[in-house]
Amino acid sequence: MHKINRINLEGHEMPTHWYNIVADMPNKPLPPLHPVTKKPVSPEDLAAIFPMGLIMQEASTERWIEIPEEVYDIYRIWRPTPLYRAYNLEKFLDTPAKIYYKYEGVSPAGSHKPNTAVPQAYYNAKQGIKYLTTETGAGQWGSSLAFACQYFDITCKVFMVRCSYDMKPYRRLMMQTWGAECIPSPSPYTRYGKEIYDQDNNHPGSLGIAISEAVEIAAERDDTNYTLGSVLNHVLLHQTIIGEEVKLQLNKEGIEPDVLIACCGGGSNLGGLILPFLPDKMDGKNIKMLAVEPSACPTLTKGEYTWDFGDGAHYTPLVKMYTLGNQFVPAPVHAGGLRYHGDSPIISQLHKEGIVDAVAYQQREVFDAAVLFARTEGIIPAPESAHAIKGAIDEAKRADEEGKEKTIIFCLSGHGHFDLASYQIYFEGKMEDYEMPDEIIKKNLAELPKRELVMHK
Amino acid sequence: MHKINRINLEGHEMPTHWYNIVADMPNKPLPPLHPVTKKPVSPEDLAAIFPMGLIMQEASTERWIEIPEEVYDIYRIWRPTPLYRAYNLEKFLDTPAKIYYKYEGVSPAGSHKPNTAVPQAYYNAKQGIKYLTTETGAGQWGSSLAFACQYFDITCKVFMVRCSYDMKPYRRLMMQTWGAECIPSPSPYTRYGKEIYDQDNNHPGSLGIAISEAVEIAAERDDTNYTLGSVLNHVLLHQTIIGEEVKLQLNKEGIEPDVLIACCGGGSNLGGLILPFLPDKMDGKNIKMLAVEPSACPTLTKGEYTWDFGDGAHYTPLVKMYTLGNQFVPAPVHAGGLRYHGDSPIISQLHKEGIVDAVAYQQREVFDAAVLFARTEGIIPAPESAHAIKGAIDEAKRADEEGKEKTIIFCLSGHGHFDLASYQIYFEGKMEDYEMPDEIIKKNLAELPKRELVMHK
């Protein structure tokens, strides 16, 4: 008998609806506030940059939202994704724990991001939008949106942080292959970008600047909208297909999870995995839900739960979330997708209420876990996803110490094919650890209200 | 109703045996000849560099050979692979043809190569082998063998053509991540390599030199064997799982193929796709089988069917195959995996007998097809695999002109995640076409017998 190391779903078993956690949260997440009036933003406020289909989802309290047929057909290119039993990793760890991982790297863009890029492009196309803007750091989100836009005759404009644009040509080329326009940020094409660009043509850029550039263009043009790859409620909604599939896959083998783990930048792959299991937890099942973040950007573990902007220029609404302050510049760790000062409001509230736990790791121990995983399970993980691997390994060790046999499931959100330069630095022993000193985080947070007053008095 | 764009097999539907075409060939392929005696090589001759398990497969006439459990379990990481209907490509081409593609890029190494790397590592490990050597050009085969070796506690040594080693660091890093030793060739670690290396420390290397280095070490050490990623009968045998799965997938939907297409370097992904369909063709079914090769290395379309060596140093046996001459140096086209002077003896014989057709394309038209495919079907193909796409597009057009509605199936043997530098050259309009002049091919072929006499008199 062969060991079952991969649990598949058949095509017809793929879920037909997204799960909206807001329907089942006893305390609903607080609505975002308008950056100037400080009153809850209205659908009309958001309509300048988002299509009505997504705005309705952002505020929806319906439990199940049907996946449109056009989106479903594209999902079927790579979904349902496999759930693996990590037999070889377990053997190496000599643990009685059962470790499973959901692998989202099988999508054409190589991560979970197309799960939301495709519906975002769809709802925008439905409303007649011809251009979508967004920002990207390492390029995971930008390439996913480029992939999605080509199915809906939308031209995708990606503002890519200039230092990444120069140093990571492969993801940029991926966007170009999929027909997108990729612009180094700061650029001379927006007011906010031009201000910075004119002072320094070689400014390395930041995610905060790139967001502001993408939002500015979308706000000013009728045929252009803006997209965000994480944080927002509708993004987490689209990602719930991950956890829904995991539930079906576990049911097939009669498996009950004890621990669910994902890396957490803005919170979308974490939310996608854990939210469908939340009703079970509220019904009394003992499921630990764990967010893993980098020590260099410890939003949940060291940030504060307060109102903050999503971007550095304060174009976006204020959201109630864990934040390190919108002027926080994280150290240049290799997990570019986890370098965000804030976090999803839904995940933030669940963490505040003690439902979601969090832990932070240094990048060298994360790469130790990544290489161990590649050499046991055969898949080279993205640095972001490797945070979840490290979390799973430590949870297995903890269970062993406690004499318990736990079932641990983590989300392997993407492959590392475009991150091998980071592996090289690791192999050469040149990788550094970064820990943001507490006093700098405090200083950033202390400045928060003052900055708001300065910007919007 | 959703359109079925992906035909899956369930895990338990994965074939349990490889199909050995030799059992069903009316004319068996001729055995290789010893390079010195010019008599058929014996199993004992081959035992210096191959394990008995593979030697027996190389000469086997049994129709079905069981996949060992240990190999089957590893196959299950990525197999069965999906078969896609290319609806969007068909729509773009405005063709009534039905185009399907079998996608082998879902393997952890990103191509079909692990289908044979895993059993090769397994049979070597079973015989107590601790080291495996091989050569690699662009790195597809080397990384696949590195992936496979880690499951069997084998140290993998890959001789990588030096110019690729320097210019393509990502596949080298992939091998390193999987624990392999990757050595630029020519190296100072072999007699043959040292001779060249001492004359020129910066010699760019060639596949012929790298093969000779890898064979030399394997021949001299008891604990070390050599592996080849294509050409040989046992390699094509292991790849037949591709075509077997395609047959099962087509049966599920009641589809009969009219045309089967794959790119052809050494012939392993082509053989893997077409060989399981050959009995149907011999039974009278009208199935066209098409090999697609680069104009820069037109082995089947312009080579000669004769006895030749597999390598430049003439360490290997003589095989009866289509060849451009073992001293042939193909132009530096981006499809590195198709730059081989010879071809599989099985494929060569089937081509000679008129069972397998062949066509050659220039690389710019191949990249046109690659980008069209990425923008319609969403997957960025390897340059090698893009040859098959170009072949499928032209077959669809030909059928349209003839007023026929054909069902065309091609093998998409790998993704292009490590080939984006080639896409960049294409986008910048700097890609060149190469056509080897007939007189140079003739000259190479004319030198063949003389060279043999000089080397082995």
Bridge partners, A412 (sequence order): A103
Closest partner residue to A173 (CB to CB) among B106, B108, B424 is B424
CB A119 within 8 A of CB A112: no
pLDDT tens digits, one per residue of A282-308: 999 999 999 999 999 999 999 999 999
Closest partner residue to B6 (CB to CB) among A76, A150, A151 is A76
pLDDT of residue B198: 96
Q: State the residue for tokens 């010893």.
A: B34
CB B217 within 8 A of CB B130: no
Q: Give the DSSP letter of residue A258.
A: S
- Mean pLDDT, all residues of chain B: 93
| Residue B415: band (very low, low, confident or very high) from pLDDT cuts 50, 70, 90 | very high
pLDDT tens digits, one per residue of A180-221: 999 999 999 999 999 999 999 988 888 888 999 999 999 999
Indicate yes or no: CB of A8 within 8 angstroms of CB of B10. yes
| Residue B451: band (very low, low, confident or very high) from pLDDT cuts 50, 70, 90 | very low
Q: How many helices (H) and strands (E) does chain A have?
A: 20, 15
pLDDT of residue A4: 66
Is the pLDDT score of A456 beyond 60?
A: no
The reply to whether A147 touches chain B by the CB within 8 Å rule is yes
Taking residue A251's Cβ as centre, other Cβ atoms within 10 Å add up to 11
Distant-in-sequence, close-in-space partners of B77: CB < 8 Å, separation ≥ 6 = A5, A6, A84, A377, A378, A379, B107, B108
For the segment A224-251, the average pLDDT, to the nearest whole number, is 97
Judged by phi (left if over 0) then psi (alpha if -120 to 50, else beta), residue A303 lies in: beta
| C-alpha distances in Å from residue A152, one per residue of A3, A131, A449 | 42, 10, 42
Token pair, residue A399, equals 């269970």
| First CA to last CA distance, chain A | 71
Residue pairs between chains A and B whose CB atoms are closer than 8 Å: 118
Among the residue ranges A272-281, B89-98, B368-377, B446-455, the one predicted with the least confidence is B446-455
pLDDT of residue A328: 82
pLDDT of residue A452: 45
d(CA B118, CA B116): 5
Maximal C-alpha separation, chain B: 71
CB B319 within 8 A of CB B261: no
Coil, helix or strand at residue B357: strand
Interface predicted TM-score (ipTM): 0.92
Is the pLDDT score of B153 beyond 50?
A: yes
Among the residue ranges A155-159, A446-450, B364-368, the one predicted with the least confidence is A446-450
Is the pLDDT score of B337 beyond 90?
A: no
Indicate yes or no: CB of B5 within 8 angstroms of CB of A77. yes
Residue type at position B233: N
Token pair, residue A336, equals 């570019």
pLDDT > 90 in chain A, percent:
81
Domain A6-13+68-110+234-450 has CATH 3.40.50.1100: yes
pLDDT tens digits, one per residue of A348-359: 999 999 999 999
d(CA B406, CA B422): 32
CB B137 within 8 A of CB B207: yes
The reply to whether B372 touches chain A by the CB within 8 Å rule is no
- Cα-based torsion angle of the residue sequence B303, B307, B308, B314 in order, rounded to the nearest 10 degrees: -170
d(CA A442, CA B235): 62
| Residue A138: band (very low, low, confident or very high) from pLDDT cuts 50, 70, 90 | confident
pLDDT of residue A225: 98
d(CA A346, CA A308): 14
Is the pLDDT score of B83 beyond 70?
A: yes
Shortest CA gap A377–chain B (Å): 9
d(CA B120, CA B226): 10
Residue type at position A314: H
pLDDT of residue B137: 85
pLDDT of residue A3: 66
Say how far residue A300 (Cα) sits from the centre of its chain: 14
| Residue A22: band (very low, low, confident or very high) from pLDDT cuts 50, 70, 90 | very high
CB A50 within 8 A of CB A226: yes
d(CA B239, CA B244): 9
- Mean pLDDT, all residues of chain A: 93
Q: Which of B130, B73, B75 shows the shortest CA–CA distance to B104?
A: B75
The reply to whether B69 touches chain A by the CB within 8 Å rule is yes
| C-alpha distances in Å from residue B370, one per residue of A178, B106, B399 | 11, 18, 21
CB B134 within 8 A of CB B210: no
Question: Which phi and psi angles does B112 have, rounded to 5°?
Answer: -75, -10
Shortest CA gap B374–chain A (Å): 6
d(CA A76, CA A96): 35
| Residue B169: band (very low, low, confident or very high) from pLDDT cuts 50, 70, 90 | confident
Annotated domain spans of chain B: 6-13+68-110+234-450
Indicate yes or no: CB of B10 within 8 angstroms of CB of A11. no
Chain B, window 155-214: residues with a beta carbon less than 8 angstroms from a chain A beta carbon: 169-170, 173-174, 176-179
Closest partner residue to A179 (CB to CB) among B169, B176, B375 is B375
pLDDT > 90 in chain B, percent:
81
d(CA B423, CA B426): 5
Is the pLDDT score of B316 beyond 50?
A: yes
Residues of chain B neighbouring A173 (CB-CB closer than 8 A): 420-421, 423-424, 427
What residue in B sits closest to A415 (Cα-Cα)? B108
